[in-house]
Amino acid sequence: MTTPPGHSDRRGGLLLVGAHIADMEFTAGHLARLHALAGEPVTILHLTAGEGGHPGMEPAAYRVQKLEEARQAAEVLGISCRVLDTPDGSLVPSPEVVDVVAGILTELAPSTVVTHWRGSFHPDHANTYFTVEAALARVARDGVTPQLWFPDNWEDADGYRPDIFVDITPVYDDWLEAARCHQLFRGGVVPFDYQSYYVGLSAMRGRLAGVERAAGFMSPPPIFAKPLSRLG
C-alpha cells in the first residue's frame, strides 16, 4: 500500500473508495474539498491504480504516472490518499481486499463513505461496490456505521438516480485543478472526453439546483417488498 504524506490519524469525516485513481477525484473531489475546508479528515482510497487504462503506455510506467497524479490531486484537495497494490482489471471482493478495506474503515471510522454504485459496465467499479458493502457489513458489528453515498460516474449509470445535490460552486476551481492533474481528464488517453462531460455535468446539475455548479449523489435505495398478489 502506498501512503503519501499528509495521512491523517483523526477519525470521522469522509472516506472515498474508488476502483481506479481518478474515479473519485472526478466524481467526488469537490465533496472531498468541501469536507476538507470544513476541517474534517478526508481520505481517498484507490483499490487499484488504474494502470491498465492507457493504450499507449506499459502498465508499469503508467502506474508511476497515476500515483503521481493521485498525489498531486490529493495535495490540491488537501486530503490524504492511499493506493492498494491490487492489479488493475482483476479486482474482486476477495476476503483479502475486504479485510484491508474493513481495517481502514475501523481505523478511520468515517461519518460518510463515498463509493461506486454497483450498476456499472466496468467490473472493477461493481466489485468496488461489493467490496465496500462487505467491509461495511463487517465493521458495523464494531459500531462503525457511516452513511453511504454513490457519486455520479458516467460508467456507473445503470439504475443510478441521484437524490442528493451538493452546491460545489465554492470549490469548483479547486476540483477542476485537481481533476486536471490527471491526463485521463485533460485528454489523450481514451476517446471519452472526461473534462467536457464532468464540467458540463456540474453546470447541468447546477441549473437544476439553482446554483452555479452542483454535484449529484445517490443514497442507497431502500429495501422494500411488494405486497404479495392474491390469487383467485
Binding site residues, Zn ion, CB under 5 A: 19-20, 23
Least Å from the CB of residue 155 to Zn ion: 6
Kindly tell me which of 48 and 112 has the beta carbon lying closer to Zn ion: 48
Kindly tell me which of 122 and 138 has the beta carbon lying closer to Zn ion: 122
Contact of 136 with 113, CB cutoff 8 Å: yes
DSSP string, 32-85: HHHHHHTT--EEEEEEE--TT--TTS-HHHHHHHHHHHHHHHHHHHT-EEEEEE
Least Å from the CB of residue 88 to Zn ion: 9
CA distance 167 to 211: 7
Query: Could you tell me which of 163, 81, 152 has the C-alpha nearest to residue 116?
Result: 152
Query: Could you tell me which of 94, 77, 1 has the C-alpha nearest to residue 41?
Result: 77
Least Å from the CB of residue 125 to Zn ion: 6
Least Å from the CB of residue 203 to Zn ion: 23
Kindly tell me which of 155 and 167 has the beta carbon lying closer to Zn ion: 155
Kindly tell me which of 23 and 25 has the beta carbon lying closer to Zn ion: 23
Least Å from the CB of residue 65 to Zn ion: 16
Kindly tell me which of 150 and 167 has the beta carbon lying closer to Zn ion: 150
Closest chain position to Zn ion (CB): 20
Query: Could you tell me which of 210, 11, 18, 226 has the C-alpha nearest to residue 114?
Result: 18
Query: Could you tell me which of 151, 21, 19 has the C-alpha nearest to residue 92?
Result: 19
The three cell numbers of residue 47 are 483499490
